[in-house]
Homo-oligomer: A and B are copies of this chain.
């Protein structure tokens, strides 16, 4: 049986779970895949206990001629990028879980791999244990895919689920997530949608063959979502989820990350806690959804081992050519919207707001007046499909009305 030696750079939660799972499942992996995956060495600067020999010198792995595949599970761009490029240059396949690195430097990394006729795989970079990238790259390669979107950040889904199920406000739910280990001490990358944006870039590449620059992804986080929004949304049949969205149209791709109202009948609406789920639409397959644990050492280890098995079985791996994407600006997208406003509780307020929206070609689908506090009333307005720039113009104009006290939130509807 073919034996393949592996080196793991970064023995944190994910790297050590890979070494542990390959040890515990060794016989089974061999029986199920026909190859023996042997972790020859791991590398970490910290003193760590792992199910493999440990060194602090990454080049003891990169320069080891017996090691055929380097697993990079450090995270962050530096020094991970240098290690990955050097490993590829040394003729080794690289498997990484590093979404920030892949999303920020995909063209450079893929060219480096191609130059030495080796492969770079990164199943673990999106959806944790969910085998979404292999599905897009292989199982769905016969499809014309048009949409890939979903819940790709466990931290924000945990927070939004807790807010919805326990009636908590954002800051309380964030605290709870931090206490339970679902959010980091500095939660900025998750909360503000950076992590989801990395994944959107990767999904667009795998689904459509489009190379999207990270800074062309429109990004909005969940920090402005309040308990009220979640409550009002549910009353009218929606859940609020942070979505990464990639859609392919005739005139480019639409790649963005923002909270969205998802109909309760949609399978994404029921995705709870820190789970992830990715929805795919195409011809001939129709609609698919892939659901599972979006993070955590063990699930992510499963994804890494999946890449290792593929490399072990296949040798070289077919990759479609990527082309530079034309990304649709957010101002050009068409969506339905949920709008929450605080207005004076007076006769004629709604008429003046409706007039302003009509002038910008935005039509109102429904208005619900929520509680009145003193002389102020909360209005929830559902807007029909409209171009985003018209919505924004209407809101700017509405803000200038003396009867509009505050625009609390504008949330797109899936």
Binding site for B on A (CB under 8 A): 17, 20-22, 24-25, 28-29, 31-34, 37, 123, 129-131, 134-135, 138-144, 209, 265, 267, 270-272, 282-293, 296-299, 301-303, 305-306, 308-310, 313-314, 318, 320-321
Contact = CB atoms under 8 A, between A and B. Distances in A.
Given A286-B292, A286-B299, A320 B141 contact: no
Contacts of A140: 131, 302, 306
13 contacts: A28-B144, A37-B142, A131-B288, A138-B310, A267-B291, A284-B301, A284-B305, A285-B293, A285-B298, A286-B293, A286-B296, A289-B290, A313-B314
B292 A288 contact: yes
Given A285-B129, A291-B288, A142 B305 contact: yes
A289 B139 CA distance: 16
Contacts of A271: 267
Contact of A131 (B34, B123, B135, B305): B135
A271 B296 CA distance: 26
Nearest to A315: B314
B298 A209 contact: no
Nearest to A279: B291
Nearest to A265: B272
A297 B144 CA distance: 16
A291 B291 contact: yes
Contacts of A131: 135, 139-140, 288
Contacts of A287: 292-293
Given A142-B22, A305-B142, A306-B141, A318 B34 contact: yes
A129 B296 contact: no
Specify how many copies of this chain sit in the oligomer: 2
Contacts of A290: 288-291
Contact of A302 (B28, B285, B310): B285
Contact of A209 (B32, B267, B297): B32
Given A267-B291, A288-B290, 19 more contacts: A24-B144, A25-B142, A25-B283, A33-B141, A33-B142, A129-B284, A129-B285, A131-B135, A135-B135, A139-B303, A140-B302, A141-B305, A142-B309, A267-B271, A284-B299, A285-B298, A286-B296, A289-B289, A291-B291
A24 B283 CA distance: 10
Contact of A139 (B17, B265, B284, B306): B306
Contacts of A141: 29, 32-33, 305-306, 309
Contacts of A286: 129, 292-293, 296, 298-299, 302
A306 B29 contact: no
A137 to B, nearest CB: 8
B134 A302 contact: no
Residue of A143, A284, A293, A296 contacting most chain B CB atoms (<10 Å): A284
A292 B296 CA distance: 26
Nearest to A289: B291
Contacts of A293: 285-288
3 pairs of A and B residues whose beta carbons are closest in the complex: A142-B305, A284-B298, A285-B302
A111 B4 CA distance: 29
A33 B318 contact: yes
A284 B308 CA distance: 15
A40 to B, nearest CB: 17
B320 A142 contact: no
A285 B292 contact: yes
